[in-house]
Chain A
């Protein structure tokens, strides 16, 4: 079956702009999590959606938001971009049940200039 698909793969934006990233989970998976990965901070949890509801959130400012649609696809939005938002953004999908095994997409590389 198809894996987790993230689009776009690469993105260059200017400070102050906003950006929307998309994630299509594995068919049947209802949980989608978002992570920010940077060389300095490593892998940091942003938020998790399950059945269109955000049920867990990391320690990121309100400029970072997300949503999940009825088909489990998820979008992440970052407003008023800062240089420090440059990172690899990873999406992971899972069934949302026990054992937490997650399947990751290849990520979206965001560069803010």
Chain B
């Protein structure tokens, strides 16, 4: 079945460091891909998305490129801030008969220290 795999956390970085969180997926068709972020004490928020191969999603300095050849959607940011400390979830959405089914990865916790 479809699945999403993320790098194990927690990830700890110093402020202004470069961030990469790896995400790979398994899907039978052509899914849409998402990154969600969960700040402490809150629900998940959509961070960015890409709906087809080679699309690049971007938001708040974060970027991810839909790589169909490697079935990956790695999240990157050039310079992280303390406020980026959160849990990041990679997810895919694939059409299943008449509706879309969303599958989330396990999440990667990020801590940014001053």
Residues of A within 8 A of B (CB): 4, 6, 31, 33, 35, 42-43, 45, 50, 55-56, 90, 92, 96-107
CB <8 Å contact, B43 and A101: no
CB <8 Å contact, A104 and B102: no
Q: Does B49 contact A (CB under 8 A)?
A: yes
The interface bits of chain B over 85-114 (1 if a CB of A lies within 8 angstroms of the residue's CB, else 0) are: 000010001011001111110110000000
Contacts of B102 in A (CB 8 A): 33, 45, 100, 102
Q: Does B32 contact A (CB under 8 A)?
A: yes
Q: Would A43 and B51 be within 8 Å (CB), given that A50-B99, A104-B45 are in contact?
A: no
CB <8 Å contact, B99 and A99: no
CB <8 Å contact, A90 and B43: yes
Q: How large is the interface on B (under 10, 10 to 19, 20 to 34, 35 or more residues)?
A: 20 to 34
Q: Does B46 contact A (CB under 8 A)?
A: yes
Return 12 A-B CB contacts under 8 Å, by A number.
A42-B106, A43-B89, A50-B99, A55-B99, A92-B44, A96-B99, A97-B100, A99-B93, A99-B100, A100-B34, A101-B46, A102-B44
Q: Does B42 contact A (CB under 8 A)?
A: yes
CB contact between A101 and one of B49, B99, B107 (< 8 Å): that residue: B49
CB of B67 to closest CB in A, whole Å = 18
